[in-house]
Structure formats: C-alpha cells, structure tokens
Amino acid sequence: NAGVTQTPKFQVLKTGQSMTLQCAQDMNHEYMSWYRQDPGMGLRLIHYSVGAGITDQGEVPNGYNVSRSTTEDFPLRLLSAAPSQTSVYFCASSYGPTQETQYFGPGTRLLVL
C-alpha cells in the first residue's frame, strides 16, 4: 500500500491563479479530509468527505472546492489563489468517520505570491 499520497509536494502560484491539489489513498478508506497548517495555528479542517459523492465543509472552507467522485481520490481546488492561502496542506483518510486513526499524507507546501 502506498498509503495517502499528495501531489505536488511544493507549488508556487501567483495571486488569482487556480490549481488543484491532488490526494489519493489506496486503503479503501471512506473518510477523507483536507487541512491547512499555518505557523502557530495547528491544523484547521477545510473540507471532508464521508464517502464518494458526499462532502461537507470544515472550519475554513472559503476559497476552496472539493469533490469526491471515487473512493480513492479527493482533490482540493483553489479557485483564485490569494496570499492568505500560503500554507502547508495535508490530506488525511480513515476507514470511517469515527475510526480511531487518521492516516496523513506528506503534505503540500503552497506559496502564493
């Protein structure tokens, strides 16, 4: 198993550009989620999904879109990048929404100029 994979590892964007952060898992996990990590603020939940076709907002959803067309993939779209979206983004997954262990991807470092 590859676990949770994220691409790219690092990305530089200009303000106003759009892009998609990719997240995939090969563990047949139902629950997947996206977080952003900013210095001094811990991780904050952006969006999550409890299964294919089902998504919901987290704590900081503005400026981000998600969709879940397959169990394996959960891409995060930045519609119009802003400097405030400079952060490290983590994707995570678990068998179900109430499972004990979330498995995290390695993270994507995003810089918006």
For the residues of 33-74, what is the DSSP string, one character each?
EEEEE-TTS-EEEEEEEEETTEEEE-S--TTEEE--SSSSB-
Report, in Å, the least distance between residue 51 CB and another protein: 11
| Cis amide leading into 8 (omega within 30) | yes
The stretch among 14-22, 38-46, 61-69, 74-82 that binds another protein (CB under 8 A) is: 38-46
Report, in Å, the least distance between residue 100 CB and another protein: 4
28 CB-contact burial (10 Å; exposed 0-12 / middle 13-18 / buried 19+): exposed
Q: Is 51 in the site for another protein (CB under 8 A)?
A: no
Query: CA 49 to CA 64: how far, in whole Å?
Result: 14
Q: Is 92 in the site for another protein (CB under 8 A)?
A: yes
Report, in Å, the least distance between residue 16 CB and another protein: 28
Give the three-state DSSP class for 108: strand
Q: Is 77 in the site for another protein (CB under 8 A)?
A: no
Report, in Å, the least distance between residue 101 CB and another protein: 5
Which residues make up the interface to another protein (CB under 8 A)? 31, 33, 35, 40-45, 48, 50, 56, 58-59, 88, 90, 92, 97-98, 100-104, 106-107
